[in-house]
Chain A
Amino acid sequence: MNLNPGASPGKSRLIRQKMKAAGLGKNMMDKLCSLSEAVSNLVADGDCIYCAGFTHLIPFAAGHEIIRQGRRDLVLARATPDLIYDQMVAAGCARKIIFSYMGNPGVGSLRLVRAAIEAGKLEWEEYSHFGMITRLQAGASGLPFLPMNLTGAEDLEHANPGYRRVIDPYGGGEVVVVPPLHPDLAIVHVQRADASGNAQVWGIIGEQKEVAFAARKVLLTAEEIVPEEVIRSDPNRTLIPGLLVDAVVHVPYCAHPSYTQGYYDRDNELYIQWDQISESMASTQRYLEEWVYGVKDRQEYWTKLGEETHTRLAVSARLAAPVNYGAY
C-alpha cells in the first residue's frame, strides 16, 4: 500500500517550463494546451491517477488519451471505477485499483475490473465510500490521518491494513482512521474555467475539490474556456483555484458517456450496452479499436457518435436566478 507520506504538491516539467518562459506564478499564467500534450507531460508509467467525478463529469476523453498513449502499470484510484477504469484495465494500463464501489451504476457488475480481480491479475485496495473520501479529505487538508466513527462492520478493516484504530484522546473510545491519499495526478473535468485554471462546477460535486487539493498535480479539462471576468463575476462557484492546476485543456463533450450538468445528458443507453460489450474480451477490444484507438481526439469521437445521439443527449435550459454580489 502506498501511503504517500509527507507529499507536497509538486510542479510538473510543463509548468516549470511555462513559468520560466512567462516569468509568472502558477496562479497567473496561461496553461492552455492540447489533451495529448497534457497527458504526455503529466502522466508517467506507474503513476497513481485519480479521474474525478461521482457519476457526473467523469473525464472519459482523458482516459481514452491515456489508453492511446499506451501508459502502463498505473494505480487507478476512484470511488466508483465506472466504465472509464473498466476500459483502462481492459487496455492494459493498470497495475492496481483503489475503489469503494465497483459496479456499473444502475446496470450491474463492472465486468472487466471484476474479472481481472477474480483472475488475480489486478491488485486492489478497497474502502467504503466514506473511507475513500476521508483519505482524500486528509490528503487535501495536509493531515497525517482522519478519524471516522465505528460502524460495527469490521471485515474490511481486517482485509485492508490502511484502516487502523486509535483511541480518542478525549475519552470517547476507539475511532477508525485512514491515511491521506495523494494521487500523483488528479484529472478533473468542469463546466468552465479560465486559462489559468480557475474552475467553476455545478451539479453533483462529488470529490472534485478534495482530489484536486490532495493530488500532486492537476490536469483540468473544461467544456468551455471563459475569460477571467466570467469567473470573477461569480466567485462562490469556483470549486478549484488556478493555483493548483498544471494544465488546462478545452475538451467539449469530455465526459460522454458520463454527463455535464446543463450541457448534455448521461448516455444511459451506452452504460446499458456496455454490459454486453464487456461480456467478452473480443467485443471489448472491438469497442476500444473503434472508439478509442480509431479516433484521434474527442472532437472526432463526438462527431462519430452522430446526430441521433447528439439529439438524444441534448438538454433544455433551466436557469438559476441571478445573485447580486454588489458593486463595492
Chain B
Amino acid sequence: MEKNWTSAELMTINAARLLRDGDVVFVGVGIPNLACNLARRTHAPGLLMIYEAGVIGAQPRRLPLSIGDPTLVSGASAVCSMYDIFTLYLQRGNVDVGFLGGAQVDRYGNINSTVIGDYAHPKVRLPGSGGSQEIAAWAKRCYVMTPHQKRRFPECVDFTTSAGFMDGRARRETLKLRGVGPQAVVTDLGILEPDETGELIMAALHPGVSLERAQANTGWALRASEKLRFTDPPELYELQILREELDPEGIYLK
C-alpha cells in the first residue's frame, strides 16, 4: 500500500489520536465516526460510542451513511429516546467527548452551521444546530474538525450555532457550562488549540506544512504556540485500517 495520504485521512488519524481509552464519545457521522472507530481498533479499545439518535455502545458492522443507520442499533448495548440522550446522557454529564464541524470556526472557537449572511434574509441557509449547540456546551471536552480555508476561519462567525470561548475564556467561565470548550481544531494543515485567553493558536503543523501557509489560510492574525510542533505522520497500520476496514469504498476519505 502507498504511504501517502489524503487530507481527510490525515484529519481522521489526528482526531483519532486525541481520544483516550475509556472515553464516552458523542459521535457524528462521516469523519468523526471514522476517527472513533479507528481509535477503538487501535489505542482505545474501551471507547464507548454514543449517537444522538439514541444509541449507546454502538458497534457498527458497516459504515453508516446517516446518523440513524440500523447498523448502529443491531448489537448496541442500549437504545433510548432523543430526549433521554440529550438529558440523561449529555446534560447530566455522562459524555466525555463531542466532535463538531461547521461552515465557520472563528478566533475563539465559536462555530457556525446555521447561516451565511443575515439570519432573517439568509444568503446561504445551512442545516442548523442539530445536536451541536448542546454538545459544544455540555460534553466535557470538544474537538472540531474542518478543512483549513480562509472563508471557514473568519475573525468572527456570522452566527454562533455552538459556543467556543465566546468573546474569550473568561466569558465562558462565568456561565459555568459543564464542558471546558474546544480543546483542539483539527484541520488538513495542522492542529489549533486555545491559549489562556481562549484564542485559537497554531499548536502543531502536519509534516511538510509551513506556518505561513496556515496563516495565509486563516482569517485572523494567527499566532503560533511557543511550543509549535509537527504531528507524527500517519502510520501504515492506521491507513490500512481506514482503507481496508472502515471506508473501503472511499466514501469519506478520498
Contact = CB atoms under 8 A, between A and B. Distances in A.
B174 to A, nearest CB: 10
A308 interface: no
A203 B75 CA distance: 11
Interface stretch (B3-11, B76-84, B201-209): B76-84
Interface in A180-232: 202-210
B252 to A, nearest CB: 10
Interface string A106-150: 110110001001101000001111110110110000000000111
B46 interface: no
A208 B124 CA distance: 31
Contact of B128 (A99, A107, A208): A99
B66 A55 contact: yes
Contacts of A134: 83, 86
A119 B226 CA distance: 48
Interface in A219-252: none
A209 B133 CA distance: 24
B197 to A, nearest CB: 16
Contacts of B248: none
B221 interface: no
A117 B29 contact: no
Interface string A146-164: 0011111111100100000
A54 interface: yes
B67 A105 contact: yes
A50 interface: no
Given A128-B134, A156-B129, A268 B81 contact: no
Nearest to B75: A318
Interface residues of A, number: 58
Q: Determine the main DSSP class of B at the interface with A.
A: loop
B29 A105 contact: yes
Contact of A128 (B75, B124, B133): B133
Given A153-B161, A266-B66, A101 B128 contact: yes
B66 A106 contact: yes
Interface string A35-51: 00000000000000000
A100 interface: yes
Interface in A307-324: 315, 318
Contacts of A56: 53, 68, 70
Interface in B167-204: 172, 175-178
Given A129-B131, A130-B134, A155 B160 contact: yes
Given A136-B83, A271-B66, A101 B161 contact: no
A73 interface: no
B32 interface: no
A220 B73 CA distance: 23
B106 interface: no
A206 B131 CA distance: 13
A126 B178 CA distance: 24
Given A55-B67, A129-B82, A150 B137 contact: yes
Interface in A266-285: 266, 268, 271-272
B22 interface: no
A101 B54 contact: no
- Which of B72, B81, B138 is most buried by chain A, counting CB atoms within 10 A of its CB? B81
A152 B82 contact: no
Nearest to B124: A118
Contact of B66 (A126, A209, A268): A268
Contact of B54 (A102, A118, A131, A205): A205
A128 to B, nearest CB: 4
A30 interface: no
B233 interface: no
A151 B65 contact: no
Of A56, A102, A120, A130, chain B has the most CB atoms within 10 Å of the CB of A130
A23 to B, nearest CB: 36
Nearest to B123: A118
Contact of A204 (B30, B53, B121): B53
Given A128-B131, A151-B133, A206-B81, A117 B125 contact: yes
Nearest to B55: A204
A130 B81 CA distance: 12
Given A151-B136, A152-B166, A102 B82 contact: no
Contact of A156 (B81, B130, B136, B161): B161
Return the 6 tightest CB-CB contacts between A and B, nearest first.
Answer: A55-B68, A152-B163, A101-B130, A151-B137, A103-B127, A105-B66
26 contacts: A99-B128, A102-B127, A103-B130, A106-B67, A118-B124, A127-B129, A128-B133, A129-B131, A130-B91, A130-B134, A133-B81, A133-B82, A136-B83, A151-B162, A152-B163, A155-B114, A155-B119, A173-B176, A203-B79, A204-B70, A205-B79, A206-B53, A206-B54, A208-B81, A210-B81, A271-B65
